[in-house]
Structure 1
């Protein structure tokens, strides 16, 4: 994720339209998404890909970061900005700050039991204020003003009030990520999360794609729920949080 951004990017000879054929789409889902369905959201700096800062804070990068990759990452997101890089063991150059890490699980929804639900409402840009309010109260993960544009988002309203939602986020070839699954605390235990995941999954399956999702490794309650719905663990990983260097001060002459 990012907490800041900069329009400045650098340019190299890297072909950002190419897909790494020897890499499974789910092993590099961010860059694979940005090279395909989400290309209109993409910002590139060398081999580093990111979403428009109003859409998502996700950053895609090579598994092994070279010095030029770190420079491109800093150019893409701007100074003094927090970002998350996949896996531990990265050694940022001097001036960067390592902030910590957290575990993540990636789950394959090939066997997800899906079910269309016509009683759910499709959420759009007009619903963004309510979406952001629900996200702020339930904290399912980062959600920005234009995240709703990444795919189909469905919601449940009670007496006109948005109380639960879920939708689509990353979209590597052949796959769509189910994300932002959240329910207002007052309505938990009503099965809304299950309905939403099944319905979003039904839309994905109807396109001939496979659902997948990510969850915090610490959120064992959510992981157990997803397993009961047919998701299986595909991969465990670690995200390392780093902060880009501050801008160098201008020395008066």
Structure 2
């Protein structure tokens, strides 16, 4: 399947492909299992079968989905209705950064990673999210102060995600350097980095454009819940 086709329904292509082992669901709807990022995908992203998703979600549980608009069917709430940019790497190979003191994140770091994500809100994140790919963090005095990692994967596409820095440590370029280290590793493996950024996060969007990403499309992103 061509890269553009994979991008058009990236959540489903990840959940029914390389990440099927982390997912639960059926032939119409799938989601990451409990403990991972609460993201759902549908075989037809623009006409999601929420009846097929319902048995996979607890009432009131917030689940992220993308690429569809319009009213939700009976029994569902749309708690957040927003737009994001889906961006694909179009730059040169980042240089090696031997001065970057980055540590691979392991289950022992899960509590700190969840706390940092809850503080900075880089997107849906669970204690097992770092199991989806490579995650790296920067620590000071045993404290996780910045991290970045990989989430959805389909074909050669590999998402950069969970990018965040504690407010007390911003302005040092830590998150950017972690991203560039991940991008370099992905390119060396023959993969194509991509990411999502909220449309209203103008500073991050401009940074990613300067780094070498390009806009692929604007996509709907929603947080929904069963009533």
Output the TM-score relative to the length of structure 1.
Answer: 0.81
Consecutive unaligned residues of structure 2, counting only runs of 5 or more, are none
- Cα pair distance change 1:138/1:240, threshold 3 Å: closer
Question: 1:170: which partner in 2?
Answer: 152
The DSSP-based 3-state class of the residue aligned with 1:193 is: helix
Question: 1:85: which partner in 2?
Answer: 65
Give 1:47 shift: 1.1
Give the Cα–Cα distance (whole angstroms) in 2 for the partners of residues 232 and 186 of structure 1: 29
Output the TM-score relative to the length of structure 2.
Answer: 0.90
Task: Supply the RMSD in Å over aligned alpha carbons.
Answer: 2.1
Question: 1:99: which partner in 2?
Answer: 79
Q: Which moved more, 1:75-84 or 1:208-217?
A: 75-84
**Which residue of 191, 195, 199 corresponds with 1:209?**
191
Question: 2:178: which partner in 1?
Answer: 196
Question: 1:76: which partner in 2?
Answer: 56
1:135 aligns with 2:123: no
Task: Write out per-residue CA displacement over residues 16-40 of structure 1, whole angstroms, 9 at most, x where no aligned residue.
Answer: xxxx779611111112112222121
Task: Write out per-residue CA displacement over residues 149-207 of structure 1, whole angstroms, 9 at most, x where no aligned residue.
Answer: 00000111223322111000101111110011111111111111221110011111121
Give the Cα–Cα distance (whole angstroms) in 2 for the partners of residues 38 and 216 of structure 1: 24
Q: How many residues align?
A: 224
1:48 aligns with 2:29: yes
Consecutive unaligned residues of structure 1, counting only runs of 5 or more, are 1-19, 246-253
- Cα pair distance change 1:21/1:86, threshold 3 Å: same
**Which residue of 31, 39, 43 corresponds with 2:20?**
39
